Structure 1
Amino acid sequence: MAVLIALSALFSGSEAALFSLSARDQRRLDSAGGGGRIALSLLGNSEQLLSAILFWNLLINMLYFAIASIVAGDLEANESFGAGWALGFTMLSLLAMIFLSEMLPKSLAVLAPLRTSIVIARPLNIAFHIIKPLLPLIGTANLLAGRLLWPGFQAENEIDLADIERAVELGTDDAALIERERLAVRSLVELGTMRASELMRPRGKLRLFHPPGDLAEIFEQETPGGYLIITDESRNHMVGSLDVRLLRPSQVDRYQDWIEPVTYVPWAASVARVLDQLTKTDSHVAIVVDEYGDCIGALSTDRIFRRILAPHSYENVSGDAALAMKDMGDGSWQVSGSIPLRQLAKFLQEELADESIATVAGYLQRTNERLPRVGDQALLGRYQLSLLDQVENESTIEVRRVKETDAGDGTAELEVDQ
């Protein structure tokens, strides 16, 4: 019975450890030796692994209680002990199984899941391959049982935005709170149609760093978004991120230990898909690449949630307090050249003929077929874009409405609306 308790504890602890590993811990298994690689391969087929663990645990528990029943029956039949001893032994056996093979091993495994997974990987791998030929039969039995017990389950219909807004209105009588919640819900829904290139921080506004280097210089200036982007030796490929806001002074000398891997997403991916990918990989920064494979910007979870919770205070990509789109009061706007072109087109209610252009400055460059210069102009539907100023990587572009005038020969010309 003691051996069966130990085996049951092994399988209970392995279940808790393996299935509580985070995505980051699973990546560490690959470099944790043979035990780590075995655990990672077992997790590659998690459904069959769970079935094998549950099968062995059930088999062991049945054998344990069968032996306990036989011993309890012998105690009851023995005149020296009687029914009281049999009942006491049965209760003690039940408590020992609950505490020693379920509660204790699972609690210890959750405290150190990575180390536990490496230790139990080899014996668990042997047990898994012993029962592996029976796993298809077990899976079929589970499927048939599910069809028999829950045959009428159907997928729920998608919830409309109007339903969500109605629920928000019924949830409180505070008008200001209702408006804030409605804006948050709309922003959340818009993540499904907003592209990564619209919300990303452009490459020119990122702080790039290549180890080894003097990290103290980074703290002398503000880091846009709080994330330092780590590059490879070529300084062109972004391979990691470092949250300098959470880096304590005692950790500066070993900052390499706090560098996180990044996720790569295409520029046309929706922000909702990017957030889902960041959650699955347990990352905080996604690197946005264009159709040529070049890194054109970065998008962090902080920036996404700020867009959800504060949609009207969309921060300027340069990091200062000024808005990226400034109303000049005379029917024109001044915008930063690094804001997404699709965002400007939405604001102006204009259709884009080519949605592969990421920024407003890029649109000027594509239209004039050269690097933007002061005075360059381009038409975006009913609006004229003019480059007013350019300092280093920051450009200021004027957006002004144009109107059609009759040229006298039956044709129409565009004239800037003053």
Structure 2
Amino acid sequence: MSILSPHAGWLLPMAILIVLSALFSGSEAALFSLGARDRRRLRRGGVGGRIAHRLLEDSEHLLSAILFWNLLINMTYFAIASIVAGKLEADPNGGASVAAVFTVVSLLVIIFFSEMLPKSIAVLEPTRASILLAPPMGIAVRLIGPVLPVVRTSNKLAGRLLWPTFQPETDIDLADIERAVELGTDDAALLKRERVALSSMVEIADMRASELMRPRSKLKLVEPPLNRETTFEGPIPGGYVIVTDDDGDRMVGTVAVRLLRPSQLDHFEQHIEPVIYVPWSAPVARVLSLLNEQDISVAVVVDEYGDGIGALSIDRIFRRMLAPQHDQSDEAVISDAIEVCSPDRFRVSGGVSLRQFAKRLGVESPEGSVATVAGFIQRHNERLPRLGDEAILGGFRLTVIEQDDESVRIEAQRILNDESNAMEGEGI
């Protein structure tokens, strides 16, 4: 240490440069590891969050500024390290070996403290780190703003000079992929899985949201104020907790519990994701497209009266398309709501999809803007379902046998063709 004492005036600037380099390296790791959902949450992160969100809107500009400052800082650091190494080599108490050791130690210090350590810390909590580091990054980007166009132009000219013939590769066509699969494998098991996947995709294209959704009665619903005990208590179907409004009626958000890290459970309310609302008759393929466009995981399915009757997650759609053999547990959700009393008599909850129930009965689903069995009876009687209300669905008479504020229970009894025609003629 006595050898370095005469050169302490150079060591202090090196320490400051290490801190600055760590600041820019950590900022780069934190800001560019944020997903689309995390970026939306930045808007609610106060001044720092809004600055970070604004910087990420022009990510190329931000990255150029960070790299420029990091390069400038590191070059200055190594320039000072070279000066100190030269002085140590000329010092009678030092020599070439001391200078070499100092150079190696300086290199290791900046690698660890300015690259590895700050980046490792930043990616653990990227949102918090981004909010904290955004204000100094905003100042740094503003300072270097006039120089960045020159840097970009230099990079473009260098790229054209060194790689003038590079051309973007064409996208692979879906037909080419299918042809490659046909010619590239004779594995019977693989071909079978491919056929199952294609069949599921065709089925999805003709399926409505009400058929694939998880009914409201089978969802994990929580009302504000949220707390950890009630939110994570008991089973969580599908891995999603649905957040309702203060009245518990309207589903307004969701928490992907299966994606939360242990460190995020104590502040899970920060990870509430908005939902989209789709009509019960929307094709599942369209729902998937909307979820992808808005980068949201759950769609709330509403019936013809605007009430939320269930939820459909993007996980559920992909599982149905790609692994239908593992999707039987969700099919049981619908089956549990349909009780088979005999081959000609069934009991069903009023919230079950009318189209799904018609398939179960083996009759043709009626056309029209009706989502549920209870809605079908309501349309026929032009009032909310009451005890004794009836309607005809194919060759079955539907009768309301239980009714309260929460649910409706309906019995379906097969009837003779003559009786069915007579009842339909009477307008039942």
TM bucket normalised to smaller: 0.5 to 0.7
- 1:153 partner SS: coil
Q: 1:266 maps to which residue?
A: 278
TM-score normalised by structure 2 residue count: 0.65
Q: 1:387 maps to which residue?
A: 398
Q: 1:207 to 1:241 in 2, by over 3 A?
A: same
How many angstroms apart in 2 are the aligned matches of 1:22 and 1:328?
52
Q: In structure 2, which of residues 114, 132, 138 is the aligned counterpart of residue 119 of structure 1? A: 132
The 8 Å contact of residues 211 and 353 in structure 2, kept in 1 or not, is answered as yes
- 1:376 partner SS: strand
Letter in 2 for 1:358: A
Q: 1:47 maps to which residue?
A: 60
Q: 1:84 to 1:291 in 2, by over 3 A?
A: farther
Q: 1:127 to 1:220 in 2, by over 3 A?
A: closer
- 1:20 partner SS: coil
Shift of 1:246: 12
- 2:174 partner SS: coil
Q: 1:152 maps to which residue?
A: 168
Shift of 1:10: 0.7
The percent of aligned pairs where both chains have the same amino acid is 48
Q: 1:3 maps to which residue?
A: 16
How many angstroms apart in 2 are the aligned matches of 1:298 and 1:120?
38
Q: 1:406 maps to which residue?
A: none
For residues 190-219 of structure 1, what are the alpha-carbon distances to aligned partners after superposition, in whole Å with 9 as ceiling and x for unaligned? 556644333223446656554469999999
Q: 1:221 to 1:71 in 2, by over 3 A?
A: closer
- 2:300 partner SS: strand
Letter in 1 for 2:328: S
Q: In structure 1, which of residues 41, 51, 60 is the aligned counterpart of residue 73 of structure 2? A: 60
The 8 Å contact of residues 49 and 134 in structure 2, kept in 1 or not, is answered as yes
Question: Within 5 A, what are the aligned runs for 1:100-119?
Answer: 100-119=113-132
How many angstroms apart in 2 are the aligned matches of 1:343 and 1:133?
63
The 8 Å contact of residues 355 and 371 in structure 2, kept in 1 or not, is answered as yes
Shift of 1:376: 1.1
Shift of 1:11: 0.4
- 2:145 partner SS: helix
Question: Within 5 A, what are the aligned runs for 1:315-334?
Answer: 315=330, 319=333, 322=336
Shift of 1:98: 1.7
Question: Within 5 A, what are the aligned runs for 1:109-258?
Answer: 109-135=122-148, 138=151, 145=159, 148=164, 150-158=166-174, 166=182, 170=186, 175=189, 179=192, 182-184=195-197, 186-187=199-200, 191=204, 194-203=207-216, 206=219, 208-211=221-224, 229-241=242-254
The 8 Å contact of residues 192 and 271 in structure 1, kept in 2 or not, is answered as no
Between structures 1 and 2, the one with greater helix share: 2
1:95 aligns with 2:108: yes
Letter in 2 for 1:393: V
1:295 aligns with 2:311: no
The 8 Å contact of residues 207 and 223 in structure 1, kept in 2 or not, is answered as yes
The 8 Å contact of residues 338 and 395 in structure 1, kept in 2 or not, is answered as no
Shift of 1:125: 1.4
The 8 Å contact of residues 85 and 102 in structure 2, kept in 1 or not, is answered as yes
Q: 2:31 maps to which residue?
A: 18
For residues 247-292 of structure 1, what are the alpha-carbon distances to aligned partners after superposition, in whole Å with 9 as ceiling and x for unaligned? 9xxxx9x9995983441232336343365368x35x5x43234688
Q: For structure 2, list consecutive stretches of 5 or more residues without a partner in the other structure.
A: 1-13, 418-423
Instruction: State how many pairs are aligned.
Output: 387
- 1:150 partner SS: coil
TM-score normalised by structure 1 residue count: 0.66
Q: 1:43 to 1:219 in 2, by over 3 A?
A: closer
Q: For structure 1, list consecutive stretches of 5 or more residues without a partner in the other structure.
A: 403-413
How many angstroms apart in 2 are the aligned matches of 1:118 and 1:103?
20
The 8 Å contact of residues 240 and 259 in structure 1, kept in 2 or not, is answered as no
The 8 Å contact of residues 315 and 321 in structure 1, kept in 2 or not, is answered as no
